[in-house]
Amino acid sequence: MEAALIELAHDCAHQHRLEINLSPITRIPAAQMTPLITQCIEKACATLGVSYQELASYASHNAQIMSTFVPSGMFFIPSVGGISHNPAEYSHWEDVVNGTNVMLHTILMLALSE
Q: Supply the pTM of this predicted model.
A: 0.75
pLDDT one-digit tens code per residue, 6-61: 999 999 999 999 999 988 888 777 788 999 999 999 999 999 999 999 888 776 77
Domain boundaries, the chain: 30-113
Work out the mean pLDDT of the chain and round it to a whole number: 91
The CATH number of 30-113, from 1.10.1740, 1.10.287, 2.40.50, 1.10.150, is 1.10.150
- How many other CB atoms are there within 10 angstroms of residue 80's CB atom? 11
- Residue 52 in contact with residue 19, Cβ under 8 Å? no
Instruction: Mention every residue, 6+ apart, whose C-beta is less than 8 A from residue 18.
Output: 12
